[in-house]
Chain A
């Protein structure tokens, strides 16, 4: 047998259940692979060899019995206090709903995945843990804020990772790292013990190598069946402005080609309020997250985020109410649009993952920071609450992955998995089965953030 972490999530689970694969050997092999490959990435920033063995010893015969997974640094575990990618604890240790779902399914949590500082960025290059490298080129960003989760899956350290998505933080790093990631409908996965559970923008989501694995993991996390249907005959809504404008030409072509390959009927649409959706998403994210930070935390934060927080503190009540009006308008507009189409489709990111040393992207409008363009592509799903999935659809000439985002009406996660599986089949699984060259000579560890603690070892508090 090849390395067990080259197996899909569902094949790992089946092999353990049948006795073909010993769960303890799978766990040892997983830690060995993390040790072997993660030095160049910094994706699994805390590892739990003792707690993982305890979880395995106590694991019930659930659907993921004995299968190793990682969770983002935003969930309480009985032995771990999440930090949100910042130097201090954001919540005490405890049982999050995600922990209970994983435990009851028999899964084994092997570590914590790196997270952008406060979860407030789409690149993952700013974090108390240090930046996270992209499996396809560790000198480039893994994305954010669930960069560690996407990189760990992309590098085949684990077959499944839990991410969170307040403005695109599951979908964006999934696109950067060439994996499949879903933001579920708001509230479809219980937020108890999730450090941003106060927000009505944030949702939790599975990150896996392909849609079939993500469906299995999504079922475990949500506790409901996401029954397989037929994704072949869908009407796909295409909203050109703003989501198909100002894109890297290769990304635009790859996403367009993927829709052609799928053979879906295209419906051209427009959505009222779309021109203000990026600003509305920024305002809604800001007004919900800033009150959770103390003045001291802002004063001591990483310099770029400190400046951004001070800028955001100057927002007026008028803009907050304007954003609420845009949000309501977009929700009505998308509900209307879904009368004419089954899914919406546009590129997940406007450009491939930028370099860690200079996280800017080249767009037709010029060179720009990655965050604004990324938020433009994904904030809509958080404002409206609808589910969205990023599916790998190609490799850029830079060697970095490209992703297509599909979105469906509220609670229609199964439809998105159907669509994604059909897309995989229509493209011969070329992009979900693609694998980075781990032996590339230029693979260097990402640089650590100067002046911030980067704790890599953890002392259990249980």
Chain B
């Protein structure tokens, strides 16, 4: 566990701490195609 945390922990904690409030998720996310233009990207 400690080894796994040493390898991945810092980046996972950075992801938790990242300010992504301006990013909206895609409610219709489909990785087989480009993002839909039907939903806004957020306030970025």
Contacts and interface: CB of A to CB of B under 8 A. Distances in A.
Interface of A: 185-188, 200-201, 272-273, 275-276, 278-280, 282-283, 307-308, 310-312, 315-316, 318-319, 321-329, 331-332, 335, 368-369, 371-372, 383-385, 409-411
A328 B7 contact: no
Contacts of A311: 1, 4-5, 8
Given A307-B3, A311-B1, A311-B4, A331 B15 contact: no
Nearest to A329: B23
Given A283-B12, A311-B4, A369-B7, A276 B18 contact: yes
Nearest to A375: B8
Interface in B1-44: 1, 3-5, 7-8, 11-12, 14-16, 18, 20, 23-26, 29-35, 41, 44
A169 B44 CA distance: 33
A327 B12 contact: no
A369 B24 CA distance: 34
Given A307-B1, A326-B20, A186 B14 contact: no
25 contacts: A187-B31, A188-B32, A275-B14, A276-B11, A279-B12, A279-B14, A282-B11, A307-B1, A308-B4, A311-B8, A312-B4, A318-B16, A319-B16, A322-B16, A322-B18, A322-B20, A324-B25, A328-B29, A329-B20, A331-B31, A372-B7, A383-B31, A385-B31, A385-B32, A410-B33
A-B interface, 5 closest residue pairs, ranked by CB to CB distance from nearest = A385-B31, A186-B31, A187-B32, A311-B4, A279-B15
A280 B20 contact: no
A272 B42 CA distance: 14
Contact of A323 (B15, B31, B44): B15
A276 B20 CA distance: 11
